[in-house]
Amino acid sequence: MSDANEPKLPKAYDHRQVEARWYPVWRERGYFHADEKDRSRPAFSIVLPPPNVTGSLHLGHALTATLQDILVRFRRMSGYNALWLPGTDHAGIATQMIVEKELQKTEKKSRHDVGRAEFLARVWKWKEQYGSRIGVQHAALGASLDWERERFTMDEGLSRAVREVFVRLWEEGLIYRAKRLINWCPRCHTALSDLEVTYEENHPGELYSFAYPLADGSGDIVVATTRPETMLGDTAVAVHPDDDRYRALVGKEVAHPLLGRRIPIIADGILVDPKFGTGAVKVTPAHDFNDFEVGQRHGLPMISVIGPDGRMTAEAGPFQGLDRFEARKQVKAALEGKGLARGAKPHLLPLGRCQRCETVLEPLLSDQWFVRIEPLAKPAIEAVEEGRTRFLPESWTNTYMAWMRNIHDWCISRQLWWGHQIPAWYCGDGHTTVAREEPARCGTCGRSDLRRDEDVLDTWFSSALWPFSTLGWPEATDELKTFYPTSVMETGHDIIFFWVARMMMMGIHFMGDVPFRTVFLHPMVRDEKGQKMSKTRGNVIDPLDITEKYGADALRFTLAALTSAQGRDIKLAKDRIDGYRAFANKLWNATRFALMNLEGFRFGAPAEERARTPADRWILARLARAVNGTVDALEAFRFDEAATTLYRFLWGDLCDWYIELAKEALYGEDRDKREGAQAVLAHALETALRLLHPFMPFVTEELWQTLRSSTGADGWPDSVMVARYPERRTPDDHAESTFGPVIGIVEALRNVRGEMNIPWKTALLGVEVGALSEEAHATVRAESGRIERLANAREIVLRPAGKPAGRRPQCAVAVGDSFEVLIPLAGAVDMAAETARVDKEIARVDEDLAGVAKRLSNESFVARAPAEVVAEARARASELGEKRGKLLAHRALLAGGEGAPAQEAPAPAPAPAPATERAPEPPPGEARTPLPPAREERRARPKKAAKVGTVGAKKAKKAKKPSPRAASAKRAAAKKAPKRKVLEGRAQKGAGKGARPPAAARRRPKGARGAAQRARRRPRR
Ligand SMILES: [Zn+2]
Ligand SMILES: [Zn+2]
C-alpha cells in the first residue's frame, strides 16, 4: 500500500487527544445555540436540572448529561430546533453551610459576626470562584448545552420571576403566613419541609409514665410519653370520651407538679386511643403535630418550652437553658423526687432527623410562609390524567398521583440568609405589605417604619419555576413562544415530589400549560454490587476520573447501555466502561481499514445501486435494520436498546463480518465488485457514525471528519453533529434471509469447535447443511468455498430443500435461523480424552450441586439468611442443574448418541456487555487470511447464533426478544474476556497464525467458573 493511501488517523486511538479537540470547535461554531426566532423547524427543548452550584458532578449528573445530550443531539440532527438550557441552583442550605464552615475555619467567625450583607457578599464571591466547575465538567462529558443561555437561580432575571410569582400567589390568596408547627432543625436553625426530613422508623426509645395529681387532691391520672421534657409545655390531659374509667374526670383539672399551673382534663376522640398506654395522654400543642391539632380543636394555650436552639425556654421555669435531652433527664428526676414516676418500658418510635445534618428535629411553633397547595395540585393532577404530561417509566404516574392527592400546604420560608429573601415588609402596627419592589410605606396604614421579613424562600421555590423563568418569564419572550412547554423533563426519580410535581403546579398556574410533555425518570447509579455510592462506603466514582481513564465516549455509551426504560437502578462496573472503550477502539481500527481501502473512491451514486454481492446487500439490509432499531428506541427513550442495536451492528455485522467478507472484493481484480464493496463499506461506516454520534460524540466526529476529508465528499456539512441523522429505511428482508445463513453456518461451526474442543487445525469433514430456503440454498452453494475457509471445513454437503436429515450418530447438531448444520464428530474429536474431561466436569458439578442443595435444605439458613443470599443460592442451584444437563447431553453424544434437543437455544443478549480488550486490535486489514482460530472462536462466541446439541425452531423474531439467561451468559462471557485475551495473545505470539492456545488455556480453570455464575446470580429484573 502506498504512502498516499495512509489514512490520516494515527495508528492508536487516544481518547484524551480526540476528546480534547472537538468540544471547543463545536462551541465556537455555535452548534449548541438554539434559535428562538426560528419557527420553521419543530422545536425540541430540555432544561437541564440545575445542579447545586456548590457541587461537582457525580455519576448521577453524568447520567443526566448523557441521556439528555443523546436526546438533544438526536433531535438536532433530525432537523429540530433543539434547545438544551443549562444552569445552576443556588442551593440554599448547602451553600450557606459551606461558606459558614469556611468562615469558621479561616477566620473563626460565625455568619452573625460578619452580618448579613457581608456574609452574602462572601457567598457570591465563593460562587464566582467555584461556580464554573460544573461547566468545565459538562464540557468534558461532551454536553451540547446552549451556554449562551446559562442561568443561575439567583441571577437578576430569575430573582424577578421569583418575586413576581410570590406576589401573584399572595394576591390570589394562595400564599399565607401563619403560626404553625413546623419541623425545625436546631442545628441548621431553619424550618424544613416534610420532604427534607429523614424518618427513622423504629428508633429504640422508651415509653415513660408518670402521674398528674388531680387539683382537688382526689387522686391522680397516669399518662405515658416518649418525651417527658415536653410535659413542661403541657396544656391539657386528654382521654377518650367513651372511656368509662375517666368519664367522671373530664372537666376537672390537674395541677402541674413542676410548674404549678392548672391544666384541664379534656375528652378527644380523635387523639386518644383508649387501648394505648393508660388511655390518658398529655397534650403539648407547641411540640407535637397531633397535639397541635388538639390545641386548635379545643382552643388550648400553646406554650413553647423548647427554643430554636434546642434549649429550654423561660417557660420551662427551673429548667430554662438546659439542652432538651438534658432536660429530659432532669424532668424525670424531678418527677421521681415527687413520687410521681410510674415506670418506663422500651418503645420503638419514629424519629425525624434533618436530611442534611441528621440532628433530631424539633417540632417548633413559629411564623412561617405557606403555599396553599390544593388549588395548584388539582390542575396538575388533571394534566397527567388527561395525558398532557406523561411519565416514563409509567409506574411513576401512580406515585405522583398518590402524593398529589394527599398533598399538604408547602412551608416555603427558610431561616437562612442565602436565597431569595421574602418580599414582605412589616410596619410597626404589624401590617404586612407584600410587593415586587421595596415599598416606602405600609400598604395598610401608610407608616414608613418598615422592616423586611428576614426569611428566604425554600430553594425548590425558585427551581419550581425553572422551565419558564429560564426562558424569560414574566416577559412574553420569543424563547417562551418557541420552547415552552419543553419537550422532556429528564431527571432522577428521587426528586419527583421536590421538583417535578412543583414544576407541574407552577408551570400550569403561570403559563397556562404543562411545563413538559414527557417526564423521563432515570434510574439511580449504583456500584457494581448494587450499593448506593456514598462517601462513607468509599465506593464513589468520580465521572472525571472515568473520562480521563476511559474517555467520555466510553462512559456515555456505558450509561446509555445500562438505562432501560423500566429500570430503577443502574449497576456500574468499570470493566464494562473499559469494554466500551474497546468498542471505540474497534471503530477506530475499522475506519483505518476502510480508509486504506477506499483508494480512488468518491461518494456518489447510492450504495444500494452499487452493491454487487449478496454480502454487500446483506450489510445494507443490516444497516437499515440498525437505523430503524436505533431511531425507534430513541423515540421511545429505550436507551439500552438503542445502544445494543448500535453495538451489535457496528461490532458484529460491520467490523466482524462485513469487513472480513469484503476483503475478497476489495483486494480482488474485479473492478466492479471492488467499487461496489468500497461504496457499501464507506456508506455503511459513514451512516453508522452518524447513527452513533449522539452516544459517542467525540470519536464519531474524529472518524467522520477523516472520512470526509479522505473521500473528498462535496456538500457535506462541517461536522457530524450538524449532519442529518439517518432516517428510517425500508427493510430488505430478502437480502438478510438469503445471506444470513452463510454467517449463521460459519458461526455455528465455530461454536461447535469451541464447545467440543476441536482444534482449528482439525478440519471439519462432511458437514451437512440443510433446512435452507431455495434462495438461501443458492447463496450458500455459491458461498460454500468461503464458509469452508472461514470455518476450516471441507466437503460441505448441501441437503436439497425440503429433505429432512437422516439419522446421523455422533454428530453435533446446530440449528439457527432457517438453517441446520450436522457436524460429524468422529475423527474431529478425541472421543476418549473428551469423554474423560466431561466426566471430570460432571463430577465437579455434582459436588458443587450437593453443597448448594445442602445449604438450601437447611431450614435455618433459608429462614435467617438475607433474602438476597438465599435467592443467590437458589439461582446457583438451578444454574448448576442446567449445566449438568448440558454436560450429560454432551456425554451422550460422545457415547454415540445423536445430537438431541437439550433445550431451547438462548437468544442473543439484550445489551451485549462488551468484549474487553486492553491491547488495541490489529487493524482488520492486516489479516488477509482467515484469522487465527483462537480469535475467531472468541469473536464467534458472543453471538450465540446457534447452539450445539440444539434442535428447535429459533425464529428471527424471537431472537430479537432477549432472554435474561442469555444476557447473563453474555455478561459472563464479557467478564471472562480479559483473561482469555491474555491467553490468546500469548498463544498467538508463541505459535503464530493457525495455532491454537493450549487446551488448558481455553478450558475454564476451576476457579474461573465463578465469574459466569456470579454474573448470573446477580438479581435481574
Ligand atoms: Zn440540620
Ligand atoms: Zn401598617
pLDDT digits (tens, 9 = 90+) for 870-918: 888 888 888 888 888 878 877 777 776 554 433 333 333 334 455 443 3
Ligand index nearest the alpha carbon of residue 447:
2
Are the C-beta atoms of 690 and 724 separated by less than 8 Å? yes
For residue 762, the model assigns a pLDDT of 87
pLDDT > 70: percent of the chain:
86
Q: How far is the CA of 174 from the centre of ligand 1 (A)?
A: 28
Q: How far apart are CA 917 and CA 942, in angstroms?
A: 14
Q: How far is the CA of 1004 from the centre of ligand 2 (A)?
A: 85
Mean pLDDT, all residues of the chain: 83
Confidence category of residue 935, pLDDT binned at 50, 70, 90: very low
For residue 952, the model assigns a pLDDT of 30
- Could you tell me how many helices (H) and strands (E) the chain has, helices first? 35, 32
Among positive and negative, which fits the CA dihedral 839, 842, 848, 849?
A: negative
For residue 474, the model assigns a pLDDT of 96
Contacts of 230 (CB under 8 A, 6+ apart): 282, 284, 287, 288, 305, 306
Q: How far is the CA of 735 from the centre of ligand 1 (A)?
A: 66
The answer, yes or no, to whether residue 928 has pLDDT greater than 60, is no
Mean of pLDDT values over 586-606: 89
β-strand 236-239 against 262-267: which pairing, if any?
parallel
The answer, yes or no, to whether residue 966 has pLDDT greater than 60, is no
Ligand index nearest the alpha carbon of residue 442:
2
Matching residue, cell 474423560: 836
Q: How far apart are CA 311 and CA 327, in angstroms?
A: 8
Are the C-beta atoms of 302 and 295 separated by less than 8 Å? yes
For residue 330, the model assigns a pLDDT of 96
Q: How far apart are CA 379 and CA 922, in angstroms?
A: 61
Q: How far apart are CA 243 and CA 282, in angstroms?
A: 16
Ligand index nearest the alpha carbon of residue 441:
2
Are the C-beta atoms of 334 and 316 separated by less than 8 Å? no
Q: How far apart are CA 740 and CA 775, in angstroms?
A: 11
For residue 288, the model assigns a pLDDT of 92
Contacts of 785 (CB under 8 A, 6+ apart): none
pLDDT tens digits for range 64-123:
999 999 999 999 999 999 999 999 999 888 888 888 888 889 999 888 889 999 999 999
Ligand index nearest the alpha carbon of residue 414:
1
Mean of pLDDT values over 601-622: 90
Q: How far apart are CA 288 and CA 886, in angstroms?
A: 65
Q: How far is the CA of 438 from the centre of ligand 2 (A)?
A: 15
- What amino acid is encoded at 844 in this protein? R
Q: How far is the CA of 412 from the centre of ligand 1 (A)?
A: 16
Range list of H helices, 338-428? 374-385, 396-405
The secondary structure of 902-967, three-state, reads: CCCCCCCCCCCCCCCCCCCCCCHHHCCCCCCHHHHHHHHHHHCCCEECCCCCCCHHHHHCCCHHHH
Q: How far apart are CA 981 and CA 934, in angstroms?
A: 9
Q: How far is the CA of 286 from the centre of ligand 1 (A)?
A: 20
Mean of pLDDT values over 353-363: 89
Q: How far is the CA of 443 from the centre of ligand 2 (A)?
A: 7
Q: How far is the CA of 196 from the centre of ligand 1 (A)?
A: 10
Q: How far is the CA of 521 from the centre of ligand 1 (A)?
A: 28
Beta strands per DSSP E along 552-695:
569-572
Q: How far is the CA of 118 from the centre of ligand 1 (A)?
A: 23
Show the cell assigned to 699.
Answer: 470519536
Are the C-beta atoms of 456 and 135 separated by less than 8 Å? no
β-strand 424-426 against 236-239: which pairing, if any?
unpaired
Q: How far apart are CA 274 and CA 244, in angstroms?
A: 10
pLDDT > 90: percent of the chain:
52
Ligand index nearest the alpha carbon of residue 197:
1
pLDDT tens digits for range 260-304:
999 999 999 888 988 888 899 999 999 998 898 889 888 899 999
pLDDT tens digits for range 769-819:
887 788 888 888 888 888 998 889 888 888 877 777 666 677 777 777 678
- What amino acid is encoded at 603 in this protein? F
Q: How far is the CA of 369 from the centre of ligand 2 (A)?
A: 19
Ligand index nearest the alpha carbon of residue 184:
1
Confidence category of residue 596, pLDDT binned at 50, 70, 90: very high
Lowest mean pLDDT among 463-467, 531-535, 600-604: 531-535
Q: How far is the CA of 310 from the centre of ligand 1 (A)?
A: 12
Q: How far is the CA of 188 from the centre of ligand 1 (A)?
A: 4
Mean of pLDDT values over 661-680: 92
Q: How far is the CA of 197 from the centre of ligand 1 (A)?
A: 9
Q: How far apart are CA 826 and CA 896, in angstroms?
A: 9
For residue 807, the model assigns a pLDDT of 62
Q: What values do phi and psi take at 132, rounded to 5?
A: -90, -10
∠ CA 158-160-163, rounded to 5°:
115
Confidence category of residue 1021, pLDDT binned at 50, 70, 90: very low
For the purposes of burial, counting CB atoms within 10 Å of the CB of 485, is it exposed (0-12), middle (13-18) or buried (19 or more)?
buried
Mean of pLDDT values over 568-585: 91
Q: How far is the CA of 97 from the centre of ligand 1 (A)?
A: 10
Q: How far apart are CA 32 and CA 72, in angstroms?
A: 10
Are the C-beta atoms of 594 and 688 separated by less than 8 Å? no
Q: How far is the CA of 360 from the centre of ligand 1 (A)?
A: 8
Cα-to-chain-centroid distance, residue 354:
26
Ligand index nearest the alpha carbon of residue 196:
1
Confidence category of residue 495, pLDDT binned at 50, 70, 90: confident
Q: How far apart are CA 80 and CA 78, in angstroms?
A: 6
Mean of pLDDT values over 365-376: 93
Ligand index nearest the alpha carbon of residue 448:
2
Q: How far is the CA of 260 from the centre of ligand 1 (A)?
A: 35
Q: How far is the CA of 190 from the centre of ligand 1 (A)?
A: 8
- What amino acid is encoded at 778 in this protein? A
Q: How far apart are CA 288 and CA 230, in angstroms?
A: 9
Q: How far apart are CA 290 and CA 292, in angstroms?
A: 5
Are the C-beta atoms of 423 and 436 separated by less than 8 Å? yes
Mean of pLDDT values over 139-168: 96
The answer, yes or no, to whether residue 936 has pLDDT greater than 70, is no
Q: How far is the CA of 441 from the centre of ligand 2 (A)?
A: 8
For residue 981, the model assigns a pLDDT of 30
Mean of pLDDT values over 459-465: 95
Among positive and negative, which fits the CA dihedral 77, 83, 86, 91?
A: negative
Are the C-beta atoms of 899 and 812 separated by less than 8 Å? yes
Q: How far is the CA of 504 from the centre of ligand 2 (A)?
A: 36
Q: How far apart are CA 685 and CA 816, in angstroms?
A: 27
Q: How far is the CA of 185 from the centre of ligand 1 (A)?
A: 5
Show the cell assigned to 181.
Answer: 408547627
Contacts of 938 (CB under 8 A, 6+ apart): 915, 977, 980, 981, 984
For residue 631, the model assigns a pLDDT of 97
Are the C-beta atoms of 1018 and 975 separated by less than 8 Å? no
For residue 979, the model assigns a pLDDT of 32
What is the pTM (predicted TM-score) of this model?
A: 0.76
Angle between helix 671-692 and helix 639-647 axes, rounded to 10 deg: 160
Q: How far apart are CA 781 and CA 775, in angstroms?
A: 10
Q: How far apart are CA 924 and CA 943, in angstroms?
A: 19
Q: How far is the CA of 176 from the centre of ligand 2 (A)?
A: 17
Q: How far apart are CA 276 and CA 865, in angstroms?
A: 34
Are the C-beta atoms of 694 and 669 separated by less than 8 Å? no
Q: How far is the CA of 424 from the centre of ligand 2 (A)?
A: 12
Beta strands per DSSP E along 297-415:
341-354, 362-371, 390-392, 410-411, 413-414
Ligand index nearest the alpha carbon of residue 445:
2
Q: Please indicate whether residue 765 or residue 84 has the higher confidence score (pLDDT).
A: 84
Range list of H helices, 78-217? 92-107, 111-114, 116-130, 133-141, 156-171
Lowest mean pLDDT among 161-170, 522-531, 815-824, 978-987: 978-987
Matching residue, cell 445449604: 855
Mean of pLDDT values over 812-829: 78
Measure Cα distances from 556 to 23, 67, 140, 642 in Å.
15, 8, 11, 13
Q: How far is the CA of 455 from the centre of ligand 2 (A)?
A: 20
What is the gyration radius of the CA atoms in the chain, in angstroms? 36
Are the C-beta atoms of 439 and 393 separated by less than 8 Å? no
Matching residue, cell 456500574: 572
Are the C-beta atoms of 678 and 594 separated by less than 8 Å? no
The answer, yes or no, to whether residue 684 has pLDDT greater than 80, is yes
For residue 45, the model assigns a pLDDT of 97
Q: How far is the CA of 426 from the centre of ligand 2 (A)?
A: 7
Q: How far is the CA of 81 from the centre of ligand 2 (A)?
A: 52
Ligand index nearest the alpha carbon of residue 416:
1
The DSSP element (H or E) to which 146 belongs, if any, is: none
For residue 913, the model assigns a pLDDT of 54
Q: How far apart are CA 651 and CA 661, in angstroms?
A: 14
The secondary structure of 403-421, three-state, reads: HHHCCCCEECEECCCCCCE
Q: First vs last Cα of the chain: how many Å apart? A: 52
pLDDT tens digits for range 412-422:
998 889 999 99
Q: How far is the CA of 448 from the centre of ligand 2 (A)?
A: 8
Mean of pLDDT values over 239-247: 91
Spatial CA neighbour of 776 closest among 795, 799, 807, 748: 799
Q: What values do phi and psi take at 52, rounded to 5?
A: -60, 135
Confidence category of residue 951, pLDDT binned at 50, 70, 90: very low
For residue 70, the model assigns a pLDDT of 98
- β-pair partners for 185: 190
Q: How far is the CA of 431 from the centre of ligand 2 (A)?
A: 4
3-state helix, strand, coil in the chain (%, to 5): 50, 15, 35
Measure Cα distances from 486 to 82, 126, 144, 383, 572 in Å.
10, 32, 17, 15, 30
Contacts of 228 (CB under 8 A, 6+ apart): 208, 210, 328, 331, 332, 335
Ligand index nearest the alpha carbon of residue 451:
2
Q: How far apart are CA 313 and CA 318, in angstroms?
A: 10
For residue 817, the model assigns a pLDDT of 66
For residue 442, the model assigns a pLDDT of 95
Spatial CA neighbour of 1013 closest among 843, 882, 868: 882
Ligand index nearest the alpha carbon of residue 450:
2
For residue 898, the model assigns a pLDDT of 52
- DSSP codes, 820-837: EEEEE-BTTB-HHHHHHH
Lowest mean pLDDT among 181-185, 459-463, 746-750, 1017-1021: 1017-1021
Mean of pLDDT values over 652-662: 93
Confidence category of residue 926, pLDDT binned at 50, 70, 90: very low
Ligand index nearest the alpha carbon of residue 426:
2
∠ CA 110-113-114, rounded to 5°:
100
Mean of pLDDT values over 210-232: 94
Show the cell assigned to 301.
Answer: 394555650
For residue 385, the model assigns a pLDDT of 96
